């Protein structure tokens, strides 16, 4: 049920076509922040922190989740509805956060 709700949020957010960091932030706030904290401490375990992580690493991880070459029940579902543009925006946003 939670996953269904999240998918609905993702669908509605992905119609916005604004540029880069703002779109990344909007999507992160609407979707990712339900699980991932913004601080780069380990306090939010078991959800790995995303803030300040390497942009290319985040992009790679999200594409692997989308392609299901990296398996996670939760993240395969979420990344499955992200476009390349979404992934670029989100990776850009999180990599700049906390720096």
Smallest separation, CB 36 to ligand HEC (Å): 5
Q: Taking CB under 6 A as the criterion, which residues in 26-85 touch ligand HEC?
A: 27, 31-32, 34-36, 46-48, 50, 58, 61-62, 72, 74-75, 78
**Alpha helix positions (H), 31-83:** 55-67, 73-79
- Angle between the N-to-C axes of helices 84-96 and 20-30, in degrees from 0 to 180, rounded to the nearest 10: 90
Smallest separation, CB 94 to ligand HEC (Å): 7
Smallest separation, CB 51 to ligand HEC (Å): 11
Whether the link from the prior residue into 46 is cis, omega within 30° of 0, is yes
């Amino acid at each position: 049920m939670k996953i269904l709700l999240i998918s609905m949020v993702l669908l509605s957010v992905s119609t916005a076509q604004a540029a880069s960091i703002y779109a990344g932030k909007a999507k992160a706030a609407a979707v990712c922040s339900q699980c991932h904290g913004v601080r780069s401490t380990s306090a939010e375990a078991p959800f790995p922190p995303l803030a300040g992580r390497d942009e290319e690493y985040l992009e790679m991880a999200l594409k692997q989740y989308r392609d299901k070459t990296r398996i996670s029940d939760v993240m395969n579902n979420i990344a499955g509805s992200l476009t390349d543009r979404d992934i670029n925006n989100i990776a850009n946003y999180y990599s700049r956060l906390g720096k």
